[in-house]
């Protein structure tokens, strides 16, 4: 469906044409004085200069031409030269009805040019539990992916596991100390390795920090870990078998954790998958004359003349020939291009890595790893802080496990739900989880991603104000009205939506019709927070309408049916929006 703003503009364009004025002045926008009008056109001011007339004259002329338009119920020229517009109730109702007929997409068309977009928003490290630092990329990335899918793009999420480097050698070393008899350590062993891992996830999560601690104190231990890493990376069979066990156990656990967040990835690739591409990539960078030795290391210059601050060279190999975080990210670009030919690569990573990604992107472009029309985008997010304004920590000052955080919010939510009303234990637990997830996700997504925010459980879990639970509460309220309506023997019918009967009903319709433009814009600007502010406004409009209107006792059945259909559409719209944000609503709460 054409966007309402475009339809309105078309109408105003005709009036400019009829007045023999350049149509470039006919642009319409949402009113910034909702007390006076719904939409406005400010073009008369600029046109006045060109035509050397008073702006109010021009505005008046255009307004005159619009008096008979069926699109508007009010067109007013006001000083100094604004054209104030109010939509006709009939026209608005027709548009809303068209939306309601399109129950899947609510009038939002898919893109005519689908792009393949790969999005990197995981970055968890194998053998280490997910912690709050991973929460933001998961929440934001998942939402961007869903918004893109809704708009019809081919979105591919990649978890990009941190599964390469010293951490693996550390685990192997510690395991060897504890269980030297394991067959993985026998260099002469040539048989099959056991299918079962020699550790559980909780053991693994304990082994890693222990090993990491030891290596900081004990030089020989660290040497051994480095040696194990080297041997692993150079194909020692037993160690590679251990690596697959570490990966299996870890990935199973990670998947479970991400699932609880309603987050999923199309690809479960890791840093290790990029390693095979490194030698050829480096070779080519050298041959093409981009990479050169500086202080023993292999680097590529990435500074540009227009830089206002110093951008250091991108390091490709360390002086001992070892690869780095950079090397892996570059080689990852190689296979992503080769296997998927993406039009765009989006990285959702902590904004403190911005300089790093500037280097990587420039290096990838300069050395031709990406084709010219592939866009590289860095979406850096801010820090999640505690109430003290400092990065979120446990009470003891440590990094909080994601599971612990989620469990405590679930508990908080459960208490609230039990306070409100009693439902069976099992349902209350399930509902608490659903609502808690909305609290965490909405709390995060309603902020512009690049900003820091304060993680405030009390505020996020509140049923009032700009929160996830408030949005769900609104949906649940609608569901309950729809149920009552159906129970009264009536059908959520084929009746059509009638022109608004009140200001609050019209206000609700005016919010609804913004949907398609809002979604398009949220995608273009990679901005889930725009979806949040939209559903907050929409929920407010709905609740206002609800308080002002007797719906269940309305005697005119046609009017009542129209209300119901409007509610149903509002519910659908909210549901589509929360779905792209990555959460859902319960049936009651």
Interface residues toward ligand ARG, by CB under 6 A: 120, 123, 125, 160, 162, 329, 347, 349
Q: Of the two residues 126 and 541, which places its CB atom closer to ligand ARG in the complex?
A: 126
Q: Which helix (H) or strand (E) holds 255?
A: helix 237-260
73: helix, coil or strand?
Answer: strand
Q: To the nearest whole angstrom, how small is the minimum distance from the Cβ of residue 49 to ligand ARG?
A: 50
Contact yes or no for 514/530 (Cβ under 8 A)? no
Q: Of the two residues 40 and 359, which places its CB atom closer to ligand ARG in the complex?
A: 359
* Number of other residues whose CB lies within 10 A of the CB of residue 65: 17
Both tokens assigned to 313: 């060279």
Q: Of the two residues 21 and 168, which places its CB atom closer to ligand ARG in the complex?
A: 168
Q: Of the two residues 329 and 444, which places its CB atom closer to ligand ARG in the complex?
A: 329
Residue nearest to ligand ARG (CB): 123
The gap from C-alpha 483 to its chain's centroid, in whole angstroms, comes to: 32
Q: To the nearest whole angstrom, how small is the minimum distance from the Cβ of residue 296 to ligand ARG?
A: 25
Q: To the nearest whole angstrom, how small is the minimum distance from the Cβ of residue 134 to ligand ARG?
A: 8
Q: Of the two residues 332 and 410, which places its CB atom closer to ligand ARG in the complex?
A: 332
Q: To the nearest whole angstrom, how small is the minimum distance from the Cβ of residue 250 to ligand ARG?
A: 13
Contact yes or no for 518/107 (Cβ under 8 A)? no
Q: To the nearest whole angstrom, how small is the minimum distance from the Cβ of residue 335 to ligand ARG?
A: 13
Q: To the nearest whole angstrom, how small is the minimum distance from the Cβ of residue 524 to ligand ARG?
A: 23
* Number of other residues whose CB lies within 10 A of the CB of residue 41: 28
Q: To the nearest whole angstrom, how small is the minimum distance from the Cβ of residue 354 to ligand ARG?
A: 12
Q: Which of 413, 435, 465, 451 is nearest to 529 (CA)?
A: 451
* Residue 195 backbone class (left: φ over 0; alpha: ψ -120 to 50; beta: rest): alpha
Q: Of the two residues 444 and 505, which places its CB atom closer to ligand ARG in the complex?
A: 444
Q: Of the two residues 316 and 417, which places its CB atom closer to ligand ARG in the complex?
A: 316
Rg (CA), the chain: 29
Q: What sign does the dihedral 94-95-98-104 (CA atoms) show?
A: negative
Q: Which of 528, 420, 408 is nearest to 473 (CA)?
A: 420
Q: Measure the N-to-C terminal CA separation of the chain; round to a whole number of Å.
A: 35
Q: CB-based contacts of 57: which residues, under 8 Å, 6+ apart?
A: 48
Q: To the nearest whole angstrom, how small is the minimum distance from the Cβ of residue 226 to ligand ARG?
A: 20
Q: Of the two residues 119 and 567, which places its CB atom closer to ligand ARG in the complex?
A: 119
Both tokens assigned to 466: 């700009």
Q: Of the two residues 38 and 329, which places its CB atom closer to ligand ARG in the complex?
A: 329
Q: To the nearest whole angstrom, how small is the minimum distance from the Cβ of residue 360 to ligand ARG?
A: 8
Q: Which helix (H) or strand (E) holds 385?
A: strand 384-385
Q: Which helix (H) or strand (E) holds 344?
A: strand 344-350
């Amino acid at each position: 469906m054409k966007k309402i703003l475009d339809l309105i503009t078309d109408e105003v364009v005709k009036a400019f044409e009829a007045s023999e004025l350049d149509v470039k002045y006919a642009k319409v926008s949402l009113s910034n004085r909702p007390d006076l009008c719904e939409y406005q056109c400010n073009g008369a001011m600029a046109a006045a200069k060109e035509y050397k007339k008073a702006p109010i004259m021009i505005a008046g002329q255009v307004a005159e031409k619009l008096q008979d338009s069926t699109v508007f119920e009010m067109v007013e020229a006001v000083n100094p030269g604004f054209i104030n517009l109010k939509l006709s109730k009939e026209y608005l109702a027709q548009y809303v009805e068209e939306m309601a007929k399109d129950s899947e997409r609510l009038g939002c068309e898919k893109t005519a040019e689908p792009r393949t977009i790969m999005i990197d928003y995981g970055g968890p490290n194998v053998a280490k539990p997910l912690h709050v630092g991973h929460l933001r990329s998961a929440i934001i990335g998942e939402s961007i992916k869903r918004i893109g899918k809704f708009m019809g793009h081919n979105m591919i999420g990649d978890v990009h596991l941190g599964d390469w480097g010293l951490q693996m050698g550390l685990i192997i070393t510690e395991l060897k100390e504890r269980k030297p008899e394991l067959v993985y350590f026998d260099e002469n062993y040539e048989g099959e390795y056991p299918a079962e891992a020699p550790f559980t996830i909780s053991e693994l999560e304990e082994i890693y920090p222990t090993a990491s601690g030891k290596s900081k104190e004990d030089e020989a231990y660290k040497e051994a870990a480095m040696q194990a890493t080297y041997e692993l990376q150079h194909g020692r069979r037993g160690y590679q078998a251990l690596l697959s066990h570490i990966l299996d156990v870890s990935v199973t656990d990670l998947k479970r954790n991400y699932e609880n967040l309603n987050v999923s990835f199309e690809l479960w690739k890791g840093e290790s998958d990029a390693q095979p591409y490194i030698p050829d990539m480096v070779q080519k960078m050298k041959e093409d004359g981009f990479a050169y030795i500086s202080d023993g290391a292999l680097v590529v210059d990435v500074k540009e003349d227009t830089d206002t601050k110093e951008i250091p060279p991108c390091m490709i190999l360390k002086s001992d020939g070892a690869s780095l975080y950079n090397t892996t990210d570059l080689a990852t670009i190689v296979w992503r291009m080769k296997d998927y030919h993406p039009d765009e690569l989006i990285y959702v990573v902590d904004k403190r890595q911005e300089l790093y990604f500037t280097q990587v992107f420039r290096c990838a472009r300069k050395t031709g790893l990406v084709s010219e029309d592939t866009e590289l985008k860095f979406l850096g997010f801010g820090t999640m802080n505690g109430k003290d304004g400092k990065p979120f920590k446990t009470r003891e000052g440590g990094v909080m496990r994601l599971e612990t955080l989620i469990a405590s919010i679930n508990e908080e939510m459960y208490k609230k739900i039990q306070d409100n009303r009693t439902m069976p234990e099992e349902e209350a637990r399930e509902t608490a989880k659903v609502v808690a997830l909305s609290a965490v996700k909405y709390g995060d997504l309603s902020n512009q991603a690049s900003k820091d925010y304060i993680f405030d459980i009390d505020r996020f879990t509140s049923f009032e104000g700009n929160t996830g639970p408030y949005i769900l509460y609104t949906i649940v309220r609608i569901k309950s009205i729809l149920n009552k309506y159906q129970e009264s023997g009536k059908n959520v019918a084929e009746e059509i939506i009638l022109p608004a009967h009140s200001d609050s009903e019209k206000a609700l319709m005016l919010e609804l019709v913004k949907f398609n433009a809002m979604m398009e814009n949220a995608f273009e600007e990679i901005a889930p927070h725009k979806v949040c502010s939209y559903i907050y406004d929409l929920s407010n409009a709905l609740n206002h309408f609800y308080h002002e209107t007797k719906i269940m006792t309305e005697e005119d059945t046609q009017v009542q049916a129209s209300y119901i259909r409007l509610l149903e559409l509002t519910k659908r719209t909210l549901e589509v929006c929360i779905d792209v944000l990555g959460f859902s609503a319960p049936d009651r709460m």
